[in-house]
Amino acid sequence: MLGSDYEGQDCSVARTLELVGERWTLLIIRDAFLGRRRFEEFQESLGIARNVLTDRLGKLVDHGIFERVRYQERPERYEYRLTEKGYDLRLALGALMQWGDEHLSPTPPRKLRRTSDATPVRVAFVGVDGEPVAPRDVENVPA
Amino acid sequence: MLGSDYEGQDCSVARTLELVGERWTLLIIRDAFLGRRRFEEFQESLGIARNVLTDRLGKLVDHGIFERVRYQERPERYEYRLTEKGYDLRLALGALMQWGDEHLSPTPPRKLRRTSDATPVRVAFVGVDGEPVAPRDVENVPA
């Protein structure tokens, strides 16, 4: 699963970055969460070189984070949809966004809220009882 | 705050990646959470080129994620400690680790637990009432 870059790093963070740590990849996934699905939409939003976008989308499909779905027959056109596996990255993106909001963006441009009642949502550590746990009370130990 | 790479991306995810999205940077921060503080410790753990490590540590200090602290006078030796701002990345790293555990690592090598009672801890969306919110019930809207 590991490529040559982080080889020898037996760690789920390293394995995750091996897949989504390339430049632009997490921003493509962010765009997908914002509703973008088509090559032209990603390209316009990100302003990156088309060959780079092609490469990143291809890898994301190979790794099962996006699926490539035909939405038009003549001419054939495809769009990119997040799989369940891709959708599960939402929490990590939410945590990165929250850190940026707190430390880098005096006026955060976007916010997370609960769809059902429009109340604010944040990312947090929670215990087995479902209660929030303070970061200082969390330790990372061998499994 | 934005460099040339993600310029024009008015987004806290993009700003965050501008600081921590370079190759190796998040793994250096992960190492810091695992207790590593000295150049040699990072270098041995990651096995990366020394000039790359020097560059990354320097940028992390410049951005206030690490502070460089002298721990010995003769000869002078320094170590790198996470600041509060750096420590706050714990949640994002926890979320990346959790995704890797769920989707990439059949036997996760490490786990998060609550220090006070050794019970499992996970990363989740939480509402204002402190209750977990399902990811499908979270929306990202303009602030």
Domains of chain B plus CATH, in order, are 1-86 (1.10.10.10), 89-136 (no CATH)
How far apart (Å, rounded) are the C-alpha atoms in residues A24 and A45?
Answer: 11
Mutate to test the interface with A, among B16, B46, B119 (most CBs of A within 10 A): B16
Tell whether B17 lies on the interface with A, counting CB pairs under 8 A.
yes
Nearest to B135 by CA among A118, A29, A140, A114: A114
Segment A119-130 shows an average pLDDT of 96
Over residues B57-72, the pLDDT tens digits come to 999 999 999 999 999 9
Inter-chain touch B126–A110, beta carbons under 8 Å: no
Over residues B36-60, the pLDDT tens digits come to 999 999 999 999 999 999 999 999 9
* ipTM over 0.90 threshold: yes
Nearest to A88 by CA among B138, B26, B121: B138
User: Which two tokens mark B26?
Assistant: 């998040």
Instruction: State the smallest CA–CA distance between residue B5 and chain A in angstroms.
Output: 9
The CA–CA distances, whole Å, from B40 to A59, A108, B70, B81, B90 equal: 34, 38, 15, 14, 22
How far apart (Å, rounded) are the C-alpha atoms in residues B33 and B1?
Answer: 25
Give pTM, 2 decimals: 0.93
How far apart (Å, rounded) are the C-alpha atoms in residues B34 and A66?
Answer: 32
Average pLDDT, chain B: 92
Over residues A57-86, the pLDDT tens digits come to 999 999 999 999 999 999 999 999 999 999
Inter-chain touch B92–A92, beta carbons under 8 Å: yes
Nearest to B96 by CA among A84, A99, A89: A89
Report A:74-103 residues touching B (Cβ under 8 A).
85, 87-103
